[in-house]
Amino acid sequence: MIPGARHVHSGKVRDLYELTEGPHAGKLLMVASDRLSIFDFVLETTIPDKGEILTRTSLWWFDQLKDLVPHHIVSTDVPAEVAGRAVICDNLAMYPVECVARGYLTGSGLLDYNASGEVCGIALPPGLVDGSRLPAPIFTPATKADLGDHDENVSYDAVVTTVGPEIAAQLRDLTLAVYGRAEQIARERGIILADTKFEFGDRGGEMVLADEVLTPDSSRYWPADQWEPGRTQPSYDKQIVRNWALSAESGWDKASGEAPPPLPQEVIDRTRSRYVEAYELLTGETF
């Protein structure tokens, strides 16, 4: 319970409230928890400070991008119960599209490419491997899935059908512009931004960047000095947890339909340190 706030929705890792009193009544309070999800399961184990790290990362990036696109943050003066891990933001009409930009081939994009030579209907050159840098960044949208379901890659034409040609073009162009700026900033700090997803909403006819932005939960960050196409890249995210869950050590059977077991302390500590390292490298600040 948060005084002066009404719970609206809980996702895998974030909780949304509507403020019911005070100067920001009617605005949304978005709280980043320490929860972690892998393979569409929300784990029983949490990662200490994760919510605060993601919130700080988003705020830093919103500041870097404010000349490119307006954002939804109204205030960081939040209730004491969620200090450091929450923001007050505008209640936008959200576009039903996950706006994904890829500069490198990996993940679901690699699976699509290996099957068809394309990603979201975009033909790519032959001979690319896991971790290959693409000739130019591409817009590879996905549908927004319900909790527990996978987002599904779709073509640009599907976005046009959903939101119309004008909004679709705006979403694509803004996504690629923001990715281009962020990729350059990250690269200057020794980090490769392989791919990322954005969400946009409408505020009185203005397209606004919303939700979290360019965090290790919504983006794939790799150490630039360890980049080596043709293999899985080491990353600044929850890959440590995924690897452990799939290992014999965890004893978990992914096909069972049951959630993975609690994480060992060593995996928790290593995962937290990766989130902290990414934050400190990107922002130049100490967590």
| Tokens 């990250």 found at | 186
My answer on whether 175 and 82 are in the same domain is no
In the listed set 65, 89, 113, which residue is the last one of a domain according to the structure?
89
CATH classification of the domain holding 227: 3.30.470.20
CA distances from residue 175 to 73, 85, 198 in whole angstroms, order as listed: 18, 25, 7
Confidence bin at 1 (pLDDT 50/70/90): confident
Total structural domains in the chain?
A: 2
The pLDDT assigned to 150 comes to 63
pTM of the complete model: 0.94
pLDDT at residue 134, rounded to an integer? 98
Pick from 278, 178, 156: which is nearest to 220 by CA? 278
> 79 lies in which domain range?
5-89
* 287 within domain boundaries: no
Phi-psi map region of 282: left, alpha, beta (phi>0 left; psi -120 to 50 alpha)? alpha
**Tokens read off for 208:** 């606004």
112 within some domain: yes
Q: Do 50 and 176 lie in a common domain? A: no
Could you tell me if residue 286 is inside a domain? no
Same domain as 199, residue 180: yes
Domain with 62 in it: what CATH number?
A: 3.30.200.20
Q: Which of 89, 104, 130 is the last residue of a domain?
A: 89
Same domain, yes or no: 104 and 240:
yes
Of 33, 67, 89, the one marking the end of a domain is 89
Q: Which pLDDT value is given to residue 145? A: 64
Over residues 29-54, the mean pLDDT reads 95
Dist CA 29 CA 183 (whole Å): 29
State whether 225 and 101 are in the same domain: yes
Which H or E run contains 202? strand 191-203
Q: What does the pLDDT look like over 107-130, one tens digit per residue?
A: 999 999 999 999 999 999 999 999
Q: Does residue 173 share a domain with residue 59?
A: no
**Residue pair 186/193 in contact by the 8 Å Cβ criterion:** yes
Q: Are residues 51 and 124 in the same domain?
A: no
Burial group, residue 234, by CB count within 10 angstroms (0-12, 13-18, 19+): middle
Residue of 264, 227, 16, 210 lying closest to 95 (CA atoms): 210
Examine residue 35 and state whether it is found in any structural domain, yes or no. Answer: yes
217 and 253 fall within a common domain: yes
* Residue (of 260, 268, 194) closest to 228 by Cα position: 194
